[in-house]
Every structure is written in C-alpha cells, then in structure tokens.
Amino acid sequence: MDEVARKGTVISVRGAVVDVGFAGGRLPPINTALSVRWDRPETLVLEVHAHLDGSRIRAIALQSTSGLARGVDVDVQDGPIAVPVGEAVLGRLLDVLGQVCDRGEAFPASTPRRSIHHAPPALAEETATRSIFETGIKVIDLLAPLAQGGKAAMFGGAGVGKTVLVMELIHAMVEKYEGISVFAGVGERSREGHELLTDMQSSGVLERTVLVYGQMNEPPGARWRVPMTALTIAEYFRDQKHQNVLLLMDNVFRFVQAGSEVSSLLGRLPSRVGYQPTLATEVASLQERIASVAGASVTAIQAVYVPADDFTDPAVSAISSHMDSTIMLSRELAAEGFYPAVDPLASSSALLDPLVVGEEHYRIAEQTRETLARLKELQDIIALLGVEELGAADRVLVRRARRLQRFLAQPFAVTEAFTGTPGRSVRREETLAGCRAILAGETDDWAESSLYMVGTIDEARQKEAAAAKARAPA
C-alpha cells in the first residue's frame, strides 16, 4: 500500500477553508494536522476535514488565513492535533493548539501530549452517580441540584447573567473543590478571559486550574475545536491521574455557531433555522465525551446562549437533550431584580427525586414550585384588580410566594465590587430550613425586603428585627 503523502500544496483558500493538493501517495486521514510553510512568524495549522478526490483534501484552518497564497507548501503531521496535558498545564492559559497565551514560559519538551480527537469511554466503563454537587446557590441546590459527575447547562438570552453565574460557580466551588478545574472559553470576549485570569490569580486557585480559550475574534475553526482541547486535558486527569475534574464551558452555543460557519464555508446545504445539517452529531460528539469512569468523574457546567430568548431553537434543544440538570434563566426575573434570575418552574434536574435528595428536600422543592406556579397563574388578576380581590387562601399563598422569590435571590461574591453587598454561599440544609419556614408561615408578618438578597433565614431574621426596631416609635 502507498505511503501517506508527506507534502502538499495549497490550491485554494476560502476564508477558514483551505484545499490542499497532493501529487502522490495516499491522502492523509480525516482529522490529521497539517502545518503550512508560509512567510509569517506565527504557525498556521490546518485540520483535514474531507477527501475531495484521489489527490485533493479540504481542510479547516485554526488560525487566520489572511495572506495565505496558492502554491504554498504544506507538511503533513504524524497524526491529529495533539495538545500538552498533565501537571505542566495547571495554572496556565492555552489556545486551541495548546500554545501558551499567558506570556509565561513554554512547556518543556518532556510534557506529554494527547490527541484532541479521543473516543468517549465505552458505555460499560461509565459509572452513574447519585451524589449531589452542592454549589452554595440556593435556587440551584433546591430546585435543580447538580450531579457529581453529571452535566448541567444554564440557558439564557443575552444579558440575563449566564457568565456571572458561571463565574460565581467557579468562585464558590474551586476553593472547596479538591480536584482539577478546566475552564473552556468558547467564542467569548477577550475582556472576560482577562478578568477571569486576574480573578483566579488573586484568589490563589489558579494553580489547580487550566484556562483554554478560543475567543470571538478568532477564526471559526479555533472556536469549533477549543472545547475538544479542554476536554482532552480533562480526560487526561480523569484517566491517567484518576482525579475528579470540574469542567466549565462558556459558551457552548458559540461552539455550535462556529460549526455552522464552517458548514457554510464548506458549501453544505443548511438545515432547520440555517444550522448545519450535522448539528446533532457535533453536539453529541462533544457531550458524550463528558463522562465518569470508576474512580474519577468529570462534572460539566455549561453556559448556553439562547438566541432571541427562543428556547425551542434547534441548537438549544440539541444541547439540552444531553443534560442531567437544566437551569433556565428568565429575562422577566432579571428585570424585576431577582438574581440569579433562575426560572424555578422551567428549571429541572434528574436528581430531584426522593430516592436521591431525600423525602424532605423533595417535599419542600415541590411545595415551593406549586406556590410559585400559583403566583404566576394569579399575576394577571393581581395586575388588573389587586391582591385584595383574591380569596383569603390565595392571599396567604401570594404573600408566601413573594417571600420565597426574594429568599431565593442571593448576593454573589463576583458582583460585590458593583453592588457593595458581600456574597453569600448557603449550605443545602440552610436553604431547606429557610424555605420550610416561609412555607409554614413563620415570615408572613415580615417585611418582604428582609428576605431579599440575604443568605440564610437567620440572617433575614436579624434584618427583620433591625427593621422592626427602626420602625418602632421612639
């Protein structure tokens, strides 16, 4: 059989799509890395995407192709793109190729490398989990608990607080989390990446964290493959070091969007709403690699942009079908000042089951949902006629629902610089105790403001006592 061709020539360039011709030998396999020998100081790496005929391949560029001309020589690498993994990458900021982007020293030559295209674990090797991953965020721990070794996604439109929620989860969990954290910034702003790096440096958690970025100013090929790079690093710690990994991705929709751009450049016919025809396959190839095996788990928390607040969007539907916990962010709640703006009725979790969280937690969560659902049903009547026109039972229920809404709001550590309010992290038992007290009517006579933006019910009790003392006549 012919040897794989080792050298080729650029024959056409269309944005991020580059066609390469080979004079003889077998064509390099799909996903093989190619390096371009051009006259620029920066590396240009291509990835084989399709075989056009017996002598031409179509490749995707992972850096800008500006200035690339036809006739330039291309070298075939020994296999797919391989990125550095292991202890050396901890505390570093990398790009899609695993190159250092934090102005620090380059990795030593002895650093192990691993292909970004790695098969998911066999189904027989995967382990299910029933342990709760506590976040310290009341509304999530109560109504949409996260699973240790599971997948959770936060869905929301522009400006409802997805990135702030991810940042708070990083702040709340990395400090008490004993494993490794890998953060993938997919198609996000450069400013957010810089802020995250400086925050982690100042908080002292960077030495157990890896930051991998493919920012929005980079070509679609880089944004499309950067989650694979982050996953490869996470898989190494899981498989080789047998350590638990916390994988955070912001924003998975940008991964889908980059795939759509690549698909258009490849000339494929679009599917529903203009997405790529391979949408479900691409999302599945990413999500199925996030798995736990015996002795180590990968817990994934992902932010997902919802275009035009349309939760029926094909990309949103494709991503949500792989999740154990779905956290929906509501623009209405954000407009009313309830942060985090988690919709308690639309959010769900496979772990909210009496056999997993316990009978007491399940009962309080269901009562909370029922109370808030009844408030939503009565909103139109209240807006038209006022609370006074409701029956006695509904008035009591509305009073408690409004207090629940305020209690489930919570100040964040990452927003302290803007609000002046110190952040609160609340244990699950304290969240349950607070909701139990509100549902039992213990707070019916309190001012609603006493329950707004507090941590535990004891903090709210102190706030109410101070307010009552201030209201009392001298």
Cα of first residue to Cα of last residue in the chain, in angstroms, is: 98
Total count of residues recorded for the chain: 474
| Cβ proximity of 344 and 143 under 8 Å | yes
Nearest to 113 by CA among 241, 247, 233, 240: 233
Backbone angles phi, psi at 255, to 5 degrees: -65, -45
Q: Helix (H, G, I), strand (E, B), or coil: what is residue 305?
A: strand
| Cβ proximity of 278 and 263 under 8 Å | yes
Q: Which residues are CB-neighbours of 102 under 8 A, at least 6 positions away?
A: 92, 93, 197
188 catalytic residue (yes or no): yes
Report the alpha-carbon distance of residue 281 to residue 416 in Å, rounded. 41
Choose, from 58, 114, 151, 162, the residue flagged as catalytic: 162
Q: How far is CA 379 from CA 344, 382, 385, 395, 428, in A?
A: 16, 5, 10, 12, 30
Q: How far is CA 28 from CA 55, 62, 209, 228, in A?
A: 10, 18, 35, 21
Choose, from 47, 134, 168, 188, the residue flagged as catalytic: 188
207 catalytic residue (yes or no): no
Choose, from 70, 189, 272, 376, the residue flagged as catalytic: 189
Report the alpha-carbon distance of residue 386 to residue 66 in Å, rounded. 63
113 catalytic residue (yes or no): no
Active-site residue set: 162, 188-189
